[in-house]
Structure 1
Amino acid sequence: MTSVPFTATRSVVAKTPAAASHAAAAHFEAKLAFETDCADVWYATTQEAKDFVLVDVRSPAMFAAGHVPGAINIPTRQLSEVRLAEYPADTLFVVYCAGPHCNGSTKAALKLARLGRPVKEMIGGLTGWIDEGLGLARG
């Protein structure tokens, strides 16, 4: 490990001290309980037995123009107990929308959580998926 020389003035990064290791571990562990990323979703859907339902919460027209392969389309406004009745109560839902500039997946995740459903948000959304170089499905 390289030592950083002491300076009287700290950088803007170091001015706020890092959290204690135990607190950082708790924070990052909790963060992973709320979200997953595009690479993990790709790996799980192509290399493992998919044990979640991937939900694109954008409009049907946007979904048809291009979506993550294997995703289903349920716009946030259509998320309800009736719509989800076909899935067992312990089904994990992974939601995404257009990308980091869109909070549609956050709204959908909140709605699913309030319905008592396990949920994670796919960070990066469709933009992240494309940035990873992963292909889209159409139709």
Structure 2
Amino acid sequence: MNALASLAAILILAVAPAAADDVRPDTPTSVKGARIVTVEEAKKLLDRKATNLVDARSPLNFGKGHVPGATLVSYREKSEYKVDFDATQDVFDLARLPADKNASVVIYSDGPSGWKAYKATVLSVRAGYRNVLWMRDGFAGWVGKSLPVEH
């Protein structure tokens, strides 16, 4: 019994760091130079065809369902989940955003823990885009409001 308890303790200690790595902190609640929009605000802009929607998730998740009319511009991240992330570790194709840097762009990913959208928003602002909107509640928020989904 003692050996079994020791084995259990070793397994718990071996697995615990991996489980801790999977825990993502929520994203910040603001981005300098951008504005957070609600799902409802993004829907109104979309209905008026007054914005460009950018989905920063993976192609796999985009294929499972996305906001109608959204363009996939995957954010491939290796940087840490923190405000002062190292963007040189990541890949985001800014050339896929509208050429007009005054155009409205709504960026989203999974939801409040979706760092891809946060990071894409930061990089878009740094690149000189002046009307960047971040749908922080993301695709989860969209689906949670029972809004239409495109596959």
**Shorter-chain TM-score: what band?**
0.5 to 0.7
Q: Secondary structure at the match of 1:41?
A: helix
Map 1:111-130; keep pairs closer than 5 Å.
111-118=123-130, 119-130=132-143
Amino acid at match of 1:61: L
User: Which runs of 5 or more residues in structure 2 are unaligned?
Assistant: 1-30, 76-90
Q: Which residue of 1 aligns with 2:6?
A: none
Amino acid at match of 1:75: S
Q: Secondary structure at the match of 1:78?
A: coil
Deviation at 1:42, TM superposition (A): 1.4
Q: Which residue of 2 aligns with 1:104?
A: 116
Q: Secondary structure at the match of 2:128?
A: coil
Q: Which residue of 2 aligns with 1:38?
A: 39
Map 1:1-139; keep pairs closer than 5 Å.
34-46=35-47, 48=48, 50-76=49-75, 77-80=91-94, 82-84=95-97, 87-118=99-130, 119-138=132-151
Q: Deviation digits for residues 54-101 of structure 1, max 9, x if unmatched?
A: 100011111111000111100122322x333x5212112110001112
Identity among equivalent positions (%) equals 31
Measure the CA separation in 2 of the matches of 1:79 and 1:129: 24
Measure the CA separation in 2 of the matches of 1:89 and 1:114: 11
CA contact (8 A) 1:55 1:74 kept: yes
Measure the CA separation in 2 of the matches of 1:135 and 1:51: 18
Deviation at 1:109, TM superposition (A): 0.3
CA contact (8 A) 2:45 2:51 kept: no
User: Which runs of 5 or more residues in structure 1 are unaligned?
Assistant: 1-29
Number of residue pairs matched by the alignment: 104
